[in-house]
Structure 1
Amino acid sequence: MTVDVQRQHLVYKGFTGPELRGVFTPDRVTIETRNGDVVAERTAPREAFASHGPDTPWDELHVLYFAGYAMWNYLTAPYLLTRPGVVVQELEPLQDTGEDWRRLRVTFPDDIATHNTEQVFYYNAAGLLRRHDYAPDVLGSPAAAHFTEKHVTESGLVFPTHRYIVPIQEDGTALPEPVLITIDLTDVSIT
């Protein structure tokens, strides 16, 4: 995938087929040929989730929108938190696995496609993102804790290359299981 950090734009190479790509923007998702010919598209993609229940099947454009905004947010944080309209408030630290994590409550403006308006980011003493809590609106708002590990540095920027997401209890405690999603990045480069 290729991520543009200046605007919400992400391209997945090989999306649904080796000769295709998936292009995400907040207002439009497309599946295209390598030449840019549009095979499928959806404008106002977030609204396509409005009548969905927990058992409603997704099509390829639903997946593209969700995976597009999610990965864009994941890969641009913490830079994302400096964007206009983003409000950041420091909370009391949390101790986890023997270390104190600084917590930031972040409120996102409507023009940033993201899981939900208010989220919490957890950073360790080295300034590395370790956990990110949110409740994705498009999934019916189930609370989740997104843990990050195996940070690598590329061109002076730090990226967690292993991520996993688990449910959160009402008191904010992350459950060890089930692991809902795992993301592993194997090659990160900056251009």
Structure 2
Amino acid sequence: MDQLLAKIIEAHGGSDRYAQFSQVRASIVSGGDLWAIKGVPQDPAPREMTVRLHEEWASVQPYGAPDQRSSFSPDRVAIEKTDGTVVAERSAPRSSFAGHELTTPWDSLHRAYFNGYALWTYLTTPFLLAGPGVTVTGIGELSENGETWHGLRATFPQDIASHSREQDFYVGDDFLLRRHDYCVDVAGGFAAAQYVYDYIEAQGLRMPSKRRAYRRGDDGRPLLDQLMVSIDISNVSYS
């Protein structure tokens, strides 16, 4: 394993502890400009997110109605009643974003797919970077907020659904994540810089409780007047 990645994983609780669990649940509150741009406005009500740690699957509840939830995997996304009755589903969901630009409207299944892969990525970082098929390389340091952050570039295999195949992660001297850069391929490929902070600990594992994703300019700097997605995370529980 890459030496920097090994230190990052240890700082977040360690691979041995992570391996003891199979899923994580958390309360999430989402906001930002992206939802209105896509025609799927977001209310501030908290929702329960469930993510499997060792396979790419996620679900959020409620979704669209009090008795509904989403079900996401890379090859299928669905909206279900809580008794399992399928309300709507889509196979090969990534293909449904072909030709999309930033302002292309989303339907409820587009949003369920985006929400599923994004929260799966966030709630399994940094441990997913040591998973099968993921390669990591060191990149240049970044100076922000009076700190120097160490960079790591991850290249994901085709069978992992995420924002983009290449994503950059920056950590401080404590090896905790500070910033996550990527392109949102399902929304015209716009570049994003996501800041993460206010770490919390649950059962010996650590994760940031706040995420703020801004559009990123050509110079790599965030456009702080364009907050695309905000996520607040609480009530984290592993099982």
- Provide the TM-score with structure 1 as the length reference: 0.97
The answer to whether 1:23 aligns with 2:23 is no
Structure 2 counterparts to residues 36-75 of structure 1, below 5 A:
36-75=84-123
List aligned pairs for 1:114-133, cutoff 5 A. 114-133=162-181
Residue in 1 that maps onto 2:222: 174
Question: C-alpha displacement at 1:167, in angstroms?
Answer: 1.3
Displacement of 1:75 in angstroms is 0.8
Q: After TM superposition, give the deviation of residue 186 of structure 1 in Å.
A: 2.3
Find the partner of 2:204 among 156, 163, 169. 156
SS at structure 1 position matched to 2:102: coil
Alpha-carbon shift at residue 55 of structure 1 (Å):
2.9
Alignment partner of 1:6 out of 54, 62, 66 = 54
Superposition deviation, residue 140 in structure 1:
0.8
Aligned-pair distance for 1:6? 0.6
Note the residue ranges of structure 1 that are not aligned, 5 or more in a row: none
When you count helix as a share of all residues, which structure comes out higher?
A: 2
Q: Distance in 2 between matches of 1:55 and 1:148?
A: 26
Report the identity percentage: 46
Q: Count the aligned residue pairs.
A: 191
Deviations 1:104-123 (A, max 9, x none): 01111101001111110001
Local SS of the residue matching 2:128? helix
SS in 2 for 1:165: strand
SS in 1 for 2:223: coil
**Secondary structure in structure 2 of the residue aligned to 1:187:** strand
Provide structure 2 residue ranges, at least 5 long, that are not aligned to the other structure.
1-48
SS in 2 for 1:175: strand
CA RMSD of aligned residues (A): 1.0
- Note if contact 2:102-2:190 (Cα within 8 Å) is conserved in structure 1: no
- RCO higher in structure (CA 8 A, sep ≥6): 2
